[in-house]
């Protein structure tokens, strides 16, 4: 089984809808991250969490929110989706005090 899983893998939604992307990990890591990938723009950090009670904004947090339900689960929500949030979304994890990140397979989101 994969160490970092993301659900759904693909999602099509309409403008104004609320959607949630979920991430689970079995690596036992305390740190989790959400990134957005757009062509030519690389990986941009949306939110990150160093433990269950810790949530931090990244470079592009506007329009997004997160929830760290447990050490192993970190969800990303789009409260009211808009077309320019169409992108590939990745979850990643890292161990305590460790910079190396391990990525999930990604969720491809299309907002119509």
Partner 1 sequence: GENVEQHPSTLSVQEGDSAVIKCTYSDSASNYFPWYKQELGKGPQLIIDIRSNVGEKKDQRIAVTLNKTAKHFSLHITETQPEDSAVYFCAASPGGNTPLVFGKGTRLSVIA
In the complex, the residues that contact partner 1 under the rule CB under 8 A are: 4, 33, 40-45, 48, 50, 58, 90, 92, 97, 99-106
Rounded to the nearest whole angstrom, what is the least distance from the CB of residue 65 to partner 1 in the complex?
18
Considering the complex, state which of residue 56 and residue 69 has its C-beta at the smaller distance from partner 1. Answer: 56
Q: Could you give the dihedral angle defined by the CA atoms of residues 94, 86, 18 and 54, in that order, rounded to the nearest 10 degrees?
A: 20
Q: In the complex, what is the shortest distance from the CB of residue 21 to partner 1, in angstroms, rounded to a whole number?
A: 14
CB of residue 13 to partner 1, shortest distance in Å? 21
Q: How far is the CB of 82 from partner 1 (least distance, A)?
A: 23
Residue 76 and residue 21 in contact, taking contact as beta carbons nearer than 8 Å: yes
Nearer to partner 1, 1 or 40 (CB): 40
Instruction: Spell out the alpha helix ranges (H) of 11-103.
Output: none
Calculated CA dihedral for residues 13, 14, 15, 16, nearest 10 degrees? -80
What gap in Å lies between CA 111 and CA 6, rounded to an integer? 18
Q: Which is nearer to partner 1, 38 or 79 (CB)?
A: 38
């Amino acid at each position: 089984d994969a160490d970092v899983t993301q659900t759904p893998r693909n999602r099509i939604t309409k403008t104004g809808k609320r959607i949630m992307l979920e991430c689970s990990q079995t690596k036992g890591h305390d740190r989790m991250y959400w990134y957005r990938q757009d062509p030519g723009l690389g990986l941009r950090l949306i939110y990150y969490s160093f433990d269950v009670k810790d949530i931090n904004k990244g470079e592009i947090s506007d329009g997004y929110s997160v929830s760290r339900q447990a050490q192993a689960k970190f969800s990303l929500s789009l409260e009211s989706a808009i077309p320019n949030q169409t992108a590939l979304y990745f979850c990643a994890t890292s161990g305590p005090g460790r910079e190396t990140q391990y990525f999930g397979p990604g969720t491809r989101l299309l907002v119509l």
